[in-house]
Amino acid sequence: MALPKIDLPIFELELPSTGEKVKYRPFTVKEEKILLVAQEAEEVAQEVLAVRQIVNNCLIDIDIGTLAMFDLEYVMLVLRSRSVDNNIEFTIKDPDTDETVKLNLDVEKVQVTRYPEHSNEIRLNEEWVLYLKYPTIDEYVKMADLDPSDPLANYYMMVSCMDKIASEDEVHNFAEYKTEEVDAFVENFAGQVVKGISLFFETVPKLRHEIKYTNEKGDDKTFVIEGMKTFFS
C-alpha cells in the first residue's frame, strides 16, 4: 500500500511590483534542502537560482520568470515565515571591535523599501518617452555572472530594463527589434537619459531592514540587511 499524499494548505499574497494577488503553498523538506545547499555554496548566482527554484515550486499558476527581483525576494520572505519560522538567528562580526555578535531577525518585520524619486519614465525629448521595466529573475542571474568591472555588464543592465518608447501616436516595444537595432538606438542616448536609467536602478524597491545592537565598547550600532542577505546571512 502506498503512503498517503499530504495536501498542503493554500495561501494568498500580494506582489509588491504590481499588487497582483497570487496563491502559494508553504515550502516542504524538499525546498529546505535546496536552500541549505545554496547557503553552503556562498555564490550569488547559486543563491538566486535556489530561491528561484523554491518560489517556482511553491507559487501556483504563475510564470516566475517574469517576476521582478524584489518580488522574488518578498515571496521567499513570506514563504520562509509561513513555512519554517519568522525568526532567523545569525552572527556578525562588529567592524570596530571584531567581536562576534548574535542577532535575531523577525522576517515579518522586513518590508519593501520604496524611494520617492523612483520612476520608470524618462523623457528623451519633447516627443518621446522611454519606459523602463524591472529586470526579471533570469536577467538578474545573467547579470550576477558578469564581471562588474566589465563595461558590457553595465550596458547589459541598461538594455535589459528598457521596455518601450512611446509618443502620443506611436509605441515601439524593444522586444520586437533586433539587438543591433537596439544598440544603434542606445548609442544616441544623451547623458541625462543614461543618468535617469542609473537612478532607476539605484532606487529600485528592495527588501531592507535595520537591526540595532550595542557592541562591547557600549557603542550603539546598526546592521542593515538587504535582499538575498535576508536568507543567506
- Residue 225's nearest CA partner among 69, 109, 135, 75 is 109
Is the pLDDT higher at 87 or at 227? 87
Residue 12 C-alpha cell reads as 494568498
Mean pLDDT (the chain, rounded): 86
Q: What pLDDT, on the 0 to 100 scale, is given for residue 148?
A: 65
Neighbours of 181 (CB within 10 A): 11
Distance CA 61, CA 216 (A): 50
For residues 3-18, one letter each, b for 16 or more C-beta atoms within 10 angstroms of the residue's C-beta and e for the rest, the string is eeeeeeeeeebebbbe
Distance CA 81, CA 41 (A): 23
Secondary-structure percent of the chain, ordered helix, strand, coil, rounded to 5: 40, 25, 35
Classify the C-alpha dihedral 191-130-140-16 as positive or negative. positive
Residue 38 has pLDDT above 70, yes or no: yes
Q: What is the DSSP string of 69-93?
A: HHHHHHHHHHHHHHHT-SEEEEEEE
Residue 65 has pLDDT above 60, yes or no: yes
Q: What is the pLDDT of residues 164-201, one digit of tens each?
A: 999 999 999 999 999 999 999 999 999 999 999 999 98
Q: What is the pTM of this model?
A: 0.77
| DSSP letter assigned to residue 95 | T
Q: What is the pLDDT of residues 106-121, one digit of tens each?
A: 888 888 888 999 999 9
Q: What is the pLDDT of residues 73-89, one digit of tens each?
A: 888 888 888 887 788 88
Distance CA 143, CA 164 (A): 21
- Residue 125's nearest CA partner among 193, 195, 52, 214 is 193
233 band by pLDDT with thresholds 50, 70 and 90: low
Question: Mean of the pLDDT values across residues 195-222?
Answer: 91
Q: What is the SS3 assignment for 218?
A: coil
Q: What pLDDT, on the 0 to 100 scale, is given for residue 123?
A: 94
Question: Mean of the pLDDT values across residues 127-146?
Answer: 82
- Residue 187's nearest CA partner among 158, 153, 150 is 158
Distance CA 36, CA 152 (A): 33
